[in-house]
Structure 1
Amino acid sequence: MSDWNFNAPNEATPPTTRQVIGLDDPETGDWARVHGRQYSLVAQRAGTRVTLHAIAALIVTWLCSGSVDLLSLQAWGAALGFTVMIAFASDYRLRDAEDRLFTRTEMRNHAIVAGLKGVVWSLGLCILVALGAGGQIASIWGAIAFLILVSVASRFSAPLSSIAFTITACAGSFIAALATFNFGLALLIALSAGFAVFGLIESARLAFEARLADLEMQEKSETVSMLLREFEEGQADWLWQIDTNRRLRSVSPRFAFALQRDTADIEGKSFLQLISGDGWKNGEFPQSLHELADKLKGKESFSNLVVKAMVRGEVRWWELSGTPMFDEDGEWHGFRGVGSDVTTQRESTEKIEFLARYDPLTQLPNRLQLNEALGKALTYAEQWRTRCAFLMIDLDRFKAVNDSLGHLVGDRMLAQVASRLKPLMDEGELVGRLGGDEFGVVIRDAADRRRVDTLAKAIIAALTTPFYIDNHVLYVGTSVGSAIGPRDGHSVEELLRNADLALYRAKDEGGGTHCEYEPSLHSNAEERRQLEVALRTALEKNEFELHYQPVVDTLDESVVSFEALVRWNSPEHGNVSPVKFIPIAEDTRLIVPIGTWVMNEACREAATNWPEDVKVNINVSPEQLVEPDFAGTVVRALSHSGLDPSRLEIEVTESIFMRDAAVARKALEQCMALGCSVALDDFGTGYSSLGYLRKLKFTTIKVDRLFVQGAAQDSPESLAIIRAVVAMADSLGMTTTAEGVENEDEVEMIRRLGCTKIQGYHFGRPMPADEARKVLKRRGFDEKRKSA
């Protein structure tokens, strides 16, 4: 096809006169090819026009030779000859106008040259009349009229140029006629000019419309030729034809190639048999082949029918279109059509559909498919007045695996989790991955309530056993929350939310358990939401207060330190227990600014109002330790308050090692380098490991109140644990603090067990700062009395 891109203008809008003669471009389409083709014809007749102008000039010279001197005639003839040669050169340059971009500028320049010829003829006529040839004006006009007629006849393809020549040539003749008072001739000249221009425009319009139609046909012909050529050269398309018995006829080479057979081998063979494979023998056909057979049997046309074909034992997907063949008498002669192999596109589509509905890591259904399955289960339950269920599963310690061993190990663990979950499912149960380390199970029919609990316990048991990945033995465990539909929700969103609330409760209970949704959980969640909203502004509204609980020396019961404990007195919610608001603060990371406030306030109180031998213990959350500038926060609190670093003891729990352990360890080492001490709180109740004690030089190990209470009840295990912790701490140069001591008997027991310090209600509950100062004053009075 040509490099030109011809777009015909809208057929409903005929071209204007200005567009036809080339003064304006069309609003739509591209007429450069039209004008180029028309103007190229001008070059073919350029020589003829030169000859005719010469003949006309000789006639005029002959007519005026008796009345005008020869020199004037020669001068006019020279001027005319020069102008005609310029016009000839201009015409000759248009010989390739059809094969290039022909512009309106060229069209305008050509019209100027044609008008110049008309001006020479006009001026010549006026000069000759003025020199005495007035009696020959009609004859001279006849010569000019002859040239105008020739221009109209030979240059209608260049209407703008012909109009320019006609108007300029007639203008001089009209003036000369008026000058000689030949008004009849003047009228004839004006009418001739008008009709000549009108004829030019109409001739040009007809020529252009014919050219437009020719170009459209040429464009369509080239397009059809290109499409046919592309089809013939394509390797994935073929033509097929069958007779009334559905046997192949006129097999094309590409169709034979698609069947991986020779043309001669398949000519006359059954079309359906060739593409059905073993299904032809056992009568088991894909649904798409049944549909194709029905179309052929019913003599129905079909288009873009995707058929599953077996080619040499390999599954291929074909897209077929076919039309029944009838002769002039209406007799059916079979089918003919086209086909293409769309196996690659089909596989890509199936892969996209799989990715849209399945999790690529675990190969389990994803959240979208789980939501759809749960929606169908709810509809089924409401229709048949039964129940469905949704179980939400969350791994308990998966984040620690990701943080310590990397995401690659984490991904492999998730794949193993999926492989353990799938065998647990019965008919009507679907397990999928919701995202991260969360999974879900849809039970379509949960009429047997025991099945929900049985499946939840089976899931917990399956995921509690160790995972073996890359020579690592990993334990994670899981928690499960469940919701029953439609009792706990009439929509997918409600069931998901309520199962999540039940899961949250299972997590709060320590994990490794199954909790069912209860309406109270929703109220708890709403309370938590309201507490979170209030907590976000509590610090700026000065709603927090520090209470201090004394820690005493085991031997003389003197106060050695106070543990700073934050309390929240909300105008909306009253005195909110730390058990409620501290987890919210940690989840929302509000614990970071709150912890900074506690650090500053506790250091200021200790430095200002306490004796120099009394320390302050401050609990620090893992969220605070992973802050990049935690050590800077400690330095600022010490410098602003003036507290000696040796009087500050930072208390942390073992959970700091479950998340960004290297960052937490570095922060604590920086604090110890300042002179602060570090205590390990709740030792023995979490993920205890002696490796923690090797990684970081703790100053104090705090024995949890559970073991103290157990030892008070003569629990051999608790007694053994306390003795072991005390012995280990002594050997490592650490002190020990027993928490939760509530009476004198427990004090005596702790002394016998060898703990260094004691903390509990027996020596004082957490108290406001002013009461802590009173305790210290009483201590000073008692010490003076003892010394006296």
Structure 2
Amino acid sequence: MSQTTNNLNVDAETLTARQVLGLASVEGVDWSRVHGHQYSLVSKRAGVRAVLHTVAFMLVAVLSFSSVTPLILVAWGCALALSVAHAFTLDIRLRQAEISRFGADDVRAHAMTSATKGAVWSLGVVALAALGAKEHIASIWIVFCLLVVCTTSSRYSVPLSTIAFLLAASVGPLLVSLLNGSTMLASLIALTIVFGSLGTFEMARMRVGARISELAMQEKSEVVSMLLREFEEGGADWLWQIDTNRKLRGVSPRLAYAMGRETSEIEGASFLQLISGDGWKTGKFPASMHELAEKLKQRESFSNLTVRASINGEVRYWELSGTPILDENGAWKGFRGVGSDVTVRHESSEKIAHLARYDTLTQLPNRLMLNEALGNALEYAAKWRSRCAFLMIDLDRFKSVNDSLGHLVGDKMLGEVALRLKPLLDEGEVCGRLGGDEFAIVLPDASDRRRVDTLAKTVIAALSAPYHVENHVLYVGASVGSAIGPRDGSKVEEILRNADLALYRAKGEGGGVHFEYEPSLHAIAEESRQLEFSLRNALENDELTLHYQPVVDANSEAVVSFEALVRWNSKEHGFVSPGKFIPIAEDTRLIVPIGTWIMNEACREAATHWPEHVKVNVNVSPEQLLEPDFAGTVVRALSHSGLAAHRLEIEVTESIFLRDAGIVRKALEQCIALGCSVALDDFGTGYSSLGYLRKLDFTTIKVDRTFVQGAGQNSPESLAIIRAVVAMADSLDMTTTAEGVENEEEAELIRRLGCTKIQGYHFGRPMPASDARKIFARDQRQTA
């Protein structure tokens, strides 16, 4: 196969005489497929040549009948008939020359037969001339020339045999012409021999060259066919071809299999109709089908075009490539190409694309898709001078659910949140999950400002309803911050940032509310950023100090303890309210090193300058209690200061149990084991106060100032709450401290209600350590 192909460009002019005559073959070319094919053509006109020889003999016999005896003609005719019959038989046998073992010996044998036939003709002419027909030699030569021309034209494919016949048949007439002195006739005969031989040789040369090229092209075609067959049989791809009417032609088995039909069913059928399914009747085609039809209409080549096809009612995705078929004149004949079924790959790609744009937990659009939706909404609003809105939603108290019941329950709850949000949206509005417990809604049309606030309040109400998850009844709330585009920003990042600032404001107000973005929030956020930066260096720059507020015995009004309160006098910002920097410290976890400093400083002050019966109260943040070595921090503060453990009272709020309750409880139990006491601050303002009282051995319950102030205004609810707290504390062997007492009337009321200790401005504001020491000095003088 490769050998013939390699000789595709063989030039006929480079063929040698032996290669042309069939005595040798071109290197690397199958000899029998070239010369065997040539000799097989001789059999097609063997009968015609036999008839020509018979007619030629009859014409010569008629011309010389009057000059020679009939016996000579009969004898010659019999000899000629035998040679022609033998040659005819041999020519007929050559039908199988191309596929049989035909070789150079067969070429020589066939040439010898042809020479014998020519010799019979030549001897006959000599005999006729010797026996009295000399005057008819010219006429006989004319007949003989006709025979030679016809024989040569019908035997051009066997040049050696043709030339052998020509030479053998011409020798007799040439000798007769020379012996008779007919120089002109002899010259004509000689020229006939030369040009006849050369003409036969050249025709054979071109024919052999053409045959070699033909074989090369044939084998190339066979190679292509074989490769295409292997391509279809061994792979998942298939070939397709359509004519100018877009009808399938030459349907391959694999294409028929891909269409779920028999080959005969789809041969000649419309390609587009077959793969369009019901769309062919309704006229509703997918965009990819329109694109394919347009390519075919424009007669454009295309590659890797994914088409959504309908095969026997099933949606499949095909990847097609095609190119126009042109004939030798450049006329369009249709299309030919390859195709493959890429349904699995397409579905995988769609799944990956879905995962990239949707949240796997809630099946809502994720941050990426929300950003795209917001970007589109901003573009639309800018184009049509309308408004869009972005609502950022954060769940309140969700972390406590996650920490106390586990992430599995938390995840299921997030799924419930998604189900509650979806029905709240109108057409075109997009709801998604930003991450964690944060969700968002994009409103492409916010021309009605009331829609934003109404939707936000509806969301808060819907998400605040109880959840029933895994046999638990759970309560969380929601806070919403919103920003309007393009008023609050023309870019996605600006809207996201401003909605987050509004949400932060809503969370700061206690949650459960909706806040719209205001420009002033930027100033607040910038101030917080600068405060955070300065707060990180506050300890190193010695900018923090402790003030102490006295706690007195309700009856004797003697000081029993001081609550340590941190103050910050910044070099850059001046005095900063604890209400500003404490939340920042907790958010950034700077409260951990600051809290450690407070613990050390308060213990040192109490141990060094206070009487032994006076305690120090230190507020502890949940972030501190979550530190693995919090108890170790307390131990080091006590040991370094020399303060007795019973003189340290750790104050915590109910919010500590909204984090990792187990870790917090363990840390406080270790402190109690050391001998420290624990006070529960801001009692009654949390979520499940009575349950917390059973979890730890609190020594003190501090009644929040709001109840004290309410009681001072004769609020029945506040009075009832204080009485209940006091009664409960007494039954649990705990003391009570009333916070926020600002005058004598409130102090007297608190005494009557039964509180053990009092704290408030009436007995002393938070003061520097030096002023606290003066109180002890004054008490000593009064005692003396």
TM-score under structure 2 length normalisation: 0.70
| Structure 1 CA distance for aligned equivalents of residues 627 and 723 of structure 2 | 36
Residue aligning to 2:589? 589
Partner of 2:417: 417
Displacement of 1:521 after TM fit? 0.8
Which residues in structure 2 correspond to 1:326-341 (within 5 Å)? 326-328=326-328, 332-341=332-341
Q: Which range moves more in the overlay, 310-319 or 421-430?
A: 421-430
Partner of 2:309: 309
CA distance in 1, matches of 2:494, 2:322: 51
Alignment of 1:128-139 (within 5 A): none
- Retained in 2: the 8 A contact 1:649–1:679? yes
Aligned to 1:751: 751
Identify if the C-alpha distance between structure 1 residues 663 and 281 changes in structure 2 by more than 3 Å, giving closer, same or farther: same
Q: Which residue of 2 aligns with 1:500?
A: 500
Matched, 1:474 2:474: yes
Matched AA of 1:437 = D
Tell me, in whole angstroms, the C-alpha distance in 1 between the residues paired with 2:221 and 2:479. 72
For 2:670, the equivalent position in structure 1 comes to: 670
Work out whether 1:725 is the aligned partner of 2:705: no
| Residue 224 of structure 1: how far off its partner (Å) | 8.3
Q: Which residue of structure 1 lines up, in the alignment, with residue 780 of structure 2?
A: 780
State the Cα deviation string for residues 419-452 of structure 1 (Å, max 9, x = none): 2112212234222222211122222222211111
Q: Could you say what the CA RMSD is over the residues aligned between the two structures, in angstroms?
A: 2.1
Q: Could you say if the C-alpha distance between residues 563 and 281 of structure 1 is closer, same or farther in structure 2, counting changes exceeding 3 Å? A: same
Aligned partners of 1:607 and 1:641 also within 8 Å: yes
CA distance in 2, matches of 1:300, 1:519: 57
| Partner in structure 1 of residue 426 of structure 2 | 426
Residue equivalent to 1:348: 348
State the partner residue of 1:576. Answer: 576
Question: How big is the shift at 1:561?
Answer: 0.6
1:317 offset after TM fit, Å?
Answer: 0.2
Conserved 8 A contact 1:388-1:447: yes
Does the 8 Å contact 2:682/2:702 carry over to 1? Answer: yes
User: Which residue pairs with 1:656 in the alignment?
Assistant: 656
Q: What is the DSSP-based 3-state SS (H/G/I as helix, E as strand, rest coil) of the residue aligned with 2:440? A: strand
5+ unaligned residues in a row in structure 1: which ranges?
1-219
Q: 1:686 aligns to what SS in structure 2?
A: coil
Looking at structure 1, the residues matched to 656 and 421 of structure 2 have their Cα atoms a distance apart, in angstroms, of 31
CA distance in 2, matches of 1:468, 1:447: 37
Q: What is the CA–CA distance in structure 2 between the aligned matches of 1:277 and 1:221, rounded to whole Å?
A: 36
Q: What is the 5 A alignment of 1:624-643?
A: 624-643=624-643
Would the alpha carbon gap of residues 324 and 549 (structure 1) be closer, same or farther in structure 2, given more than 3 Å must change?
A: same
User: Which whole-Å CA distance do the structure 1 matches of 2:548 and 2:731 have between them?
Assistant: 30
Cα 1:491–1:327 change in 2 (3 A) is closer
| Cα contact 2:741–2:759 (8 A) shared by 1 | yes
**2: distance between equivalents of 1:428 and 1:232?**
48
CA contact (8 A) 1:243 1:249 kept: yes
Q: 1:222 Cα shift?
A: 14
Residues 31-66 of structure 1: CA distance to partner in whole angstroms, max 9, x if unpaired?
xxxxxxxxxxxxxxxxxxxxxxxxxxxxxxxxxxxx
Query: Are residues 227 and 374 of structure 1, via their aligned partners in 2, closer, same or farther at CA, if it must alter by over 3 Å?
Result: farther
What amino acid maps onto 1:567 in structure 2? R
Worse-matched range after superposition: 486-495 or 740-749: 486-495
Using a 3 Å threshold, how does the CA distance of structure 1 residues 224 and 434 change in structure 2: closer, same or farther? farther
Task: Give the SS at the match of 2:535.
Answer: helix
Task: Please give the alpha-carbon distance, in whole angstroms, between the structure 1 residues aligned to 2:654 and 2:223.
Answer: 77
After the TM superposition, which of the residue ranges 755-764 and 371-380 deviates more from structure 2?
Answer: 371-380
- In structure 1, distance between residues paired with 2:404 and 2:387: 42
Question: Once structures 1 and 2 are overlaid, which stretch shifts more, 663-672 or 404-413?
Answer: 404-413
- After superposition, give the CA deviation of every residue in 1:686-713 in whole Å (9 maximum; x if it has no partner): 2233221111111111110011111111
Asked if 1:385 is matched to 2:385, the reply is: yes
Q: Which amino acid aligns with 1:343?
A: T
Cα 1:225–1:472 change in 2 (3 A) is farther
The Cα of 1:230 is off from its aligned counterpart by 6.0
The one-letter amino acid paired with 1:442 is: V
Q: Residue in 1 aligned with 2:323?
A: 323
Query: Which letter does structure 2 place at the counterpart of 1:439?
Result: F
Matched, 1:709 2:720: no
Residues 683 and 689, structure 2, Cα contact 8 Å, conserved in 1: no
Q: Which amino acid aligns with 1:711?
A: A
1:481 to partner: Cα distance: 0.8
Measure, in 2, the Cα distance between the counterparts of 1:754 and 1:728: 11
Task: Tell me the equivalent position of 2:556.
Answer: 556
**Contact 1:250–1:267 (8 Å) recurs in 2:** yes
AA of the residue aligned to 1:443: L
For the residue of structure 1 that corresponds to 2:581, the secondary structure is helix
Question: Structure 1 731/269 Cα, relative in aligned 2: closer, same or farther at 3 Å?
Answer: same
Given residue 471 of structure 2, which amino acid in structure 1 is its aligned partner? N
Q: Specify the SS of the correspondent of 1:538.
A: coil
- Could you say if the C-alpha distance between residues 571 and 326 of structure 1 is closer, same or farther in structure 2, counting changes exceeding 3 Å? closer
Identity of aligned residues (%): 79
Distance (Å, rounded) in 1 between the aligned partners of 2:486 and 2:502: 16
Code of the residue aligned with 1:621 in structure 2: it is S
Task: Tell me the secondary structure at the aligned position of residue 750 of structure 2.
Answer: helix
Aligned-pair distance for 1:249? 2.8
**Is 1:438–2:438 an aligned residue pair?**
yes
Q: Kindly report which structure 2 residues correspond to 1:19-418, keeping only aligned pairs within 5 A, or say none.
A: 231-328=231-328, 332-418=332-418
Q: Deviations over 1:604-653 (max 9, x none)?
A: 11111111111110000011111111111111111111111001000001
Q: Distance in 2 between matches of 1:580 and 1:607?
A: 30
Q: How many residues are treated as equivalent by the alignment?
A: 565
Cα distance, 1:708–1:467 mapped onto 2, change above 3 Å: same
Q: 1:562–1:616: 8 Å Cα contact kept in structure 2?
A: yes
Distance in 2 (CA, whole Å) between partners of 1:471 and 1:661 is: 20
Aligned to 2:22: none
Aligned partner of 1:592: which letter?
Answer: V
2:175 is aligned to none
State the alpha-carbon separation in 2 of the partners of residues 662 and 754 from structure 1. Answer: 33
State the secondary structure of the residue aligned to 1:318.
Answer: strand
Contact 2:275 2:311 in 1 (8 A): yes
Which residue identity lines up with residue 540 of structure 1 in the other structure? E
Paired residue type of 1:674: L
* SS of residue in 1 equivalent to 2:368: helix
Given the superposition, is the C-alpha separation of residues 335 and 576 from structure 1 closer, same or farther in structure 2, using an over 3 Å criterion?
same
CA deviation vs aligned residue, 1:105-133 (integer Å, no higher than 9, x gap): xxxxxxxxxxxxxxxxxxxxxxxxxxxxx
Larger Rg: 2
**CA displacement, residues 314-353 of structure 1 (integer Å, 9 cap, x when unaligned):** 2110011223334445554433221101111111221222
How far apart in 1 are the matches of 2:701 and 2:582? 22
Question: Is the partner of 1:305 in helix, strand or coil?
Answer: strand
The alpha carbon displacement at 1:311 in A equals 1.6
CA distance in 1, matches of 2:570, 2:499: 30
Three-state SS of the structure 1 residue aligned to 2:249 is coil
In structure 1, what is the equivalent of residue 27 of structure 2? none
Distance 1:528 1:296 in 2: 65
In the other structure, the counterpart of 1:734 is 734
Further displaced range: 551-560 or 380-389: 380-389
Tell me how far apart the structure 1 counterparts of residues 426 and 645 of structure 2 sit (CA, whole Å): 62
Counterpart Cα distance in 2 of 1:587 and 1:375: 31
Give the CA deviation at 1:466: 1.4
How far has the Cα of 1:291 moved from its partner?
2.2
Give distance in 1, aligned partners of 2:223 and 2:728: 91
Partners of 1:672 and 1:223 lie apart in 2 by 92
Q: How far, CA to CA, are the matches of 2:606 and 2:319 in structure 1? A: 84
Alignment partners' CA distance in 2, 1:498 and 1:581: 22
Contact kept in structure 1, 2:233 and 2:254, CA below 8 Å: no
Structure 2 residue 508 is the aligned partner of structure 1 residue 534? no
> 1:650 corresponds to which letter in structure 2?
I
Opposite residue 369 of structure 2, the aligned amino acid is Q
Aligned to 1:458: 458
Q: 1:251 to 1:699 in 2, by over 3 A?
A: same
Question: Are residues 230 and 731 of structure 1, via their aligned partners in 2, closer, same or farther at CA, if it must alter by over 3 Å?
Answer: farther
- Which stretches in structure 2 are left out of the alignment for 5+ residues? 1-219
Instruction: State the Cα distance separating 1:229 from its structure 2 match.
Output: 7.1
Say yes or no: does 1:687 pair with 2:687.
yes
Distance 1:503 1:579 in 2: 19
1:330–1:632 distance in 2 versus 1, CA, 3 Å: closer
Does the CA-based 8 Å contact 1:235-1:254 persist in structure 2? no
Task: Say whether the 8 Å CA contact 1:558–1:779 is kept in structure 2.
Answer: no
- Aligned CA distance change for structure 1 residues 666 and 229 (closer, same or farther; 3 Å): farther
Residues in 2 aligned to 1:710 and 1:226: alpha-carbon distance in whole angstroms: 98
Which is further off, 769-778 or 613-622?
Answer: 769-778
Shift of 1:563: 0.5
For 1:549, the aligned partner's letter is Q
